[in-house]
Structure 1
C-alpha cells in the first residue's frame, strides 16, 4: 500500500552524527522542565508523579510502550494520561526514565542496593542496554562485604559477568571466605551456594567445604522454616482431607466446610490455622529438598574414611545428606583401597588426588542440573 510519509533513511547512506553529549544534555533539560509532557506515572506507595513524553518513552522501552500506547491512536491524543506503578521506588523509576532520554547513568549517586534493584527493573522493562551497564559496574564493586550478595544477583538474573567475577574473587580469597564461621555465607541462596560447590578451582579441603555447607544449611533452614538441621518434618495436617474433599467431583462447587457448621470467628480461625499449617509443611519439604541438593554437590569421595565416619555419626548432618552420596563415597574408597575397579554405575576413577578439578560426580551433576 502506498504511503505519503517522508522517507527517514535509505540503505547505504552514510550519516555523520553530532555531539552526543550536547544531545544528551538537551534531552535531560527537556525532561527536567516537563515541557510538552503528555503522560505521567504515579510511582510508589506514597505516589510520586513523574512526567514524560509518550513518543520518547515508547520508542525506547517496549514494556512501557505497551502501557502507554495500547492502540496506535493513543499517541495522537492531547489529553495527558496517568499510569500507576506501585511496586517500585520513585527514585529508581526516575533514573530509568532519565536513561531513556539521555542514554546515560551516573553510578556515583546510586548505592549498590539501589543498583541491584535497578538491574531487576531494567530486566523487567526489557532494557538490555541499561542492564549491561549496571552489570559491568557491579563487577567493579565486588569485595568481601558484597561478594555473596552479588553472587546471588548473578545467579538469579543469569548474569555470567557478575557470576564469573564473583567466583574469581571467591577463589582468590577462599581461605578467608569459605569457612564455617563466616556469617556472611548465611545470605547465600541455595543456587548461589551450589555454584560455589560446583567449582573445580577451590583451593580448599573438602572437609572445610563440608563444614561450611553444613553451617550454611543449618542457617538456611532456620531462616526459612524457623528450625535448623535438627528439625523434624511435620506430619501433614488433617485439613488436607477437607481440601481433597473439596477438589473431588462429589464435593465440587460446595463450601469447604459443611453447611451445618456455623462460620463463627473460632471456626474461621481454625480453618485459617489449618491452611497455614499446610503451607508451612510444604515450605519445610521444599527447603529440605533444596538443602539436600546443595549438600549432594560435596565430593565425599575426597574425604578420608575417618572423616566420613565422623559425618555419618552425626544425626543432624545425616538428615541433610542424600544417603546415596555417602554410600557411593564408601564404595569409591573401598575400590581405591583394594585396587578393584569401580562398577559401571559409578563411572568414577579409583584413585583420586585431593584436588576438586580431578573429580566428577556424574550422578550429582545430573541431579543438580535438572
Structure 2
C-alpha cells in the first residue's frame, strides 16, 4: 500500500534569512537595475522576480530589451526598491514610519497584493493623532478602503485634537470631504467650521488660489444648519467681509431654521456624535439612531 503523502512546513525564518543574502548580491545575479535619481546599480535574479511579481514577468518578457541591458527605474528611491526586493525574495519586509508610504505605493504599482496588505496593516496598527491624517490621505489616494475605514474611526474618536494638527491641514479636498461626511465626529460644528477655514487658508497659500475658491470644495459638507440662529447670524456678518462661504450654503441653513423641516437623506441636518445640543435641534434625529 502506498504511504499517504503529507505536506509539512519547515522553519521559514532560516529560509528568509538565507534568501535575504541574495538581495542586491552579485552571486548568480543575471539582471541589473539603475534606480532613482542617483542612478544606483542594484543586482537581482530574473527568475525570482518573475516568479513572484507579474509586473516584472511582463517586463522581462519584452523582447525589445536585451538580456544584458540594465532596466532603468528612475521613479523609485533605491532604498525603497531594496525594501520591495527584500519582500519579493523573503516574503518579509522591514517597515518604518518613514518608508511605509513609499513601499505601499510600490506594492500597488507592482501588483504585490500581499505586500500592500502588510503595509496597510502596519499603518492601521500605528495610527496616532499625528499619523492618522497621513494614513487617511494614503487610503484615499491609493483607494485602500480598509485603511480608510480604520483611519476614519480613529479620527472620529479624536476629532477635536486631530483637526488642530498640521496633518489635517495637509489633507486633499477629497480626504477632507470623506471626514466631514461622517456623523460620528466628536466635535461641535463650530469647531469643525474653524478647522475647515484654517485648512482652506493653508491650502490657498500652497496652491496660490483665493481662500473662497479652495473652501468651496469642502464647505458644503460642514453642517451649517446645526449652528444656532445667533451663531448663523454672526457667521453671515463675518462672511460679508471675507466671502469664504457660499451664500447658498448659508441660505440653506436659514431655510432649515425657518421651516424646521429635516429629511433623513439630508446630511446637513443630521446631528454628529460631538454636536453640542441647541434649542434649534429640537426634533432632529441623534447621530446613532
Q: Structure with the greater relative contact order (CA < 8 A, sep ≥ 6): 1 or 2?
A: 2
Give the superposition deviation at 1:178. Answer: 3.1
- Aligned counterpart for 1:174 among listed residues 159, 166, 171: 159
Contact 2:25 2:44 in 1 (8 A): no
Q: For residues 316 and 183 of structure 1, do their structure 2 counterparts lie closer, same or farther at Cα, with a shift above 3 Å needed? A: farther
SS of the residue aligned with 1:40? strand
For structure 1, the 5+ residue unaligned runs are 1-12, 230-287, 359-370
Greater alpha carbon shift after TM alignment, 131-140 vs 322-331: 322-331
For structure 2, the 5+ residue unaligned runs are 271-280
Matched, 1:50 2:42: yes
Counterpart of 2:205 in structure 1 is: 222
Matched, 1:60 2:52: yes
Matched residues in 2 for 1:99 and 1:313: separation? 58
Give the superposition deviation at 1:311. Answer: 1.7
Which deviations, in whole Å up to 9, do the C-alpha atoms of 1:67-97 show, x marking residues without a partner?
22214x98xx8x5331001111101101111
Counterpart of 1:303 in structure 2 is: 227
SS of the residue aligned with 1:314? helix
* Matching of residues 262-277 of structure 1 within 5 Å: none
Computed over aligned residues only, the root mean square deviation of the Cα atoms, in angstroms, reads 3.1
Counterpart of 1:201 in structure 2 is: 184
Which deviations, in whole Å up to 9, do the C-alpha atoms of 1:283-321 show, x marking residues without a partner?
xxxxx2x63131000112111111111222123787443
Q: For residues 191 and 90 of structure 1, do their structure 2 counterparts lie closer, same or farther at Cα, with a shift above 3 Å needed? A: same
Matched residues in 1 for 2:173 and 2:283: separation? 27
SS of the residue aligned with 2:140? helix
Contact 2:29 2:44 in 1 (8 A): yes
- Aligned counterpart for 1:128 among listed residues 81, 105, 113: 113
Number of residue pairs matched? 275
Give the superposition deviation at 1:351. Answer: 4.7
Matched residues in 2 for 1:299 and 1:97: separation? 47
Per the normalisation by structure 2, the TM-score is 0.83
Matched residues in 2 for 1:301 and 1:15: separation? 64
Which deviations, in whole Å up to 9, do the C-alpha atoms of 1:297-353 show, x marking residues without a partner?
0112111111111222123787443333222211111112xxxx569x979799544
Matched residues in 2 for 1:20 and 1:14: separation? 18
Contact 2:131 2:167 in 1 (8 A): no
Matched residues in 2 for 1:320 and 1:156: separation? 27
Matched, 1:104 2:121: no
Counterpart of 1:147 in structure 2 is: 132
Matched residues in 2 for 1:331 and 1:315: separation? 18
Q: For residues 150 and 212 of structure 1, do their structure 2 counterparts lie closer, same or farther at Cα, with a shift above 3 Å needed? A: same
Counterpart of 1:91 in structure 2 is: 79
Matched residues in 2 for 1:126 and 1:300: separation? 43
Q: Which runs of 4+ in 1 moved over 4 A?
A: 345-352, 354-358
Matched residues in 2 for 1:81 and 1:36: separation? 16
SS of the residue aligned with 2:187? coil
SS of the residue aligned with 1:298? coil
Per the normalisation by structure 1, the TM-score is 0.66
